[in-house]
Amino acid sequence: MKKAAKLIALLALTAVVVYPLLWMLATSFKPENEIVGNISLWPNEPTGKHYPAGWSALDVSFTTFFRNSAVIAGITVVANCASCLLAAYAFARLRFRGRGIFFAAMIGTLLLPGHVLIVPQYILFNLFGWIDTTLPLVVPKMLATEAFFIFLMVQFMRGIPRELDDAARIDGAGPYQLFWRIILPLSRPALVTSAIFSFIWTWNDFFTQLIYLNDLENITVPVALRNFLDSTGQTSLGSMMAMSVLSLLPVFAFFVAFQRMLVQGINTTGLKG
What number of other Cβ atoms are within 10 A of residue 68's Cβ?
21
Domains and CATH numbers, the chain: 1-47 (no CATH), 59-267 (1.10.3720.10)
How far apart are alpha carbons 253 and 195 in whole angstroms? 14
pLDDT tens per residue, range 182-240: 888 888 888 888 898 899 999 999 999 999 998 989 999 999 988 887 644 456 788 88
Q: How confident is the model at residue 27 (pLDDT cuts 50, 70, 90)?
A: confident
pLDDT tens per residue, range 239-269 = 888 999 999 998 888 878 777 766 665 555 4
Q: How far apart are CA 187 and CA 189, in angstroms?
A: 6
d(CA 175, CA 172): 10
At a CB cut-off of 8 Å and minimum separation 6, what does 224 contact? 58, 62, 65, 243
